[in-house]
Amino acid sequence: MNKAFTMIEMLLATMLVGVLTTLSILTFRAVTRGWQVSTDYMDKMQRTDYALNQIMSGLRSMYYPHDGKQDEGYGFSLVDNGDGERPKESDVIEWSKTGSAIVGNKSAVADTVHRVQVMILEEGDSDYREPVQKTGLYARLCGDAALRPKDDEADSPDKGYGFDNDELYQPVLIADGVVGFNCRVLKKAEEAEGSVRNSSENDRRSFEDEFSESNSVPYKVELTFYLADRDGRSYRTDTAPVVRIVRIPIHEQSLDGAKVPSDGEKEAAGGGALR
């Protein structure tokens, strides 16, 4: 007697193979998607780390004239726009510096004093000479205030050669995928002293969102960048914060222009990293 599969058995076997195939495809897609997200996130983290290191180097190379007085033209400026988790809630910082950090070795201003402004700009922003193409971290730079034409000497009908004239200084993209930026400052060294000085948590509690002393520079600066998925999809949280704390070497000099920081103070200048 010949044995053969019945029609029902064939249908059940076909359905089972179909279910197993579907599960395999879904599992493969989930693993592939997870790998792509992780790869994209790590790539974004590396690029953001590089940008952060450039900003940190730029802050450490902050310039302040050694002329025995405080000068608003070289002080640190902070515009607090919110908590920094979105482009329109992001802060804007500005300072004078020397060196190639942020601007690059080939820049004409790398060997001179120049003013830098760092901020988050959103795609489509048309406030500048050319519309912003990507949402991300941007920087603008201009020459030293001493080298710019004075307002009463300017031929331009707009006059004014500072960053307020948006048409003059086109933003340059430093890192895309960064959708927010928050900056806080520790104004004075003594605010970090005491029994809690070695505690990073308590140290950070002393940082403030405002810095009105535009004729000087703070003791430390805390930078927080917020990363988001390039396709608009969220990671485990809505944004991923990356934090750095930078000690400003010329803080004391900005408070007393006649004082030159000692070698020990220069060596102590550094930054901490938190993620």
What does the alpha-carbon distance between residue 75 and residue 94 come to, in Å, rounded to a whole number? 8
Asked if residue 65 lies in contact with residue 71, where contact means CB atoms within 8 angstroms, the answer is yes
194 φ, ψ (degrees, to nearest 5): 105, -170
Asked if residue 170 lies in contact with residue 130, where contact means CB atoms within 8 angstroms, the answer is yes
Q: What are the residues facing 231 on neighbouring strands?
A: none
3-state class (DSSP) for residue 14: helix
pLDDT-flagged residues of the chain (< 70): 1-5, 41, 145-161, 191-203, 229-238, 257-275
Which helix (H) or strand (E) element contains residue 56? helix 7-60
What does the alpha-carbon distance between residue 61 and residue 249 come to, in Å, rounded to a whole number? 8
What's the pLDDT score for residue 105? 83
At 229-253, the pLDDT tens digits run 655 554 445 677 888 999 999 998 8
At 86-135, the pLDDT tens digits run 899 999 999 999 999 998 888 878 888 999 999 999 999 988 889 999 99
What does the alpha-carbon distance between residue 197 and residue 182 come to, in Å, rounded to a whole number? 23
What's the pLDDT score for residue 224? 93
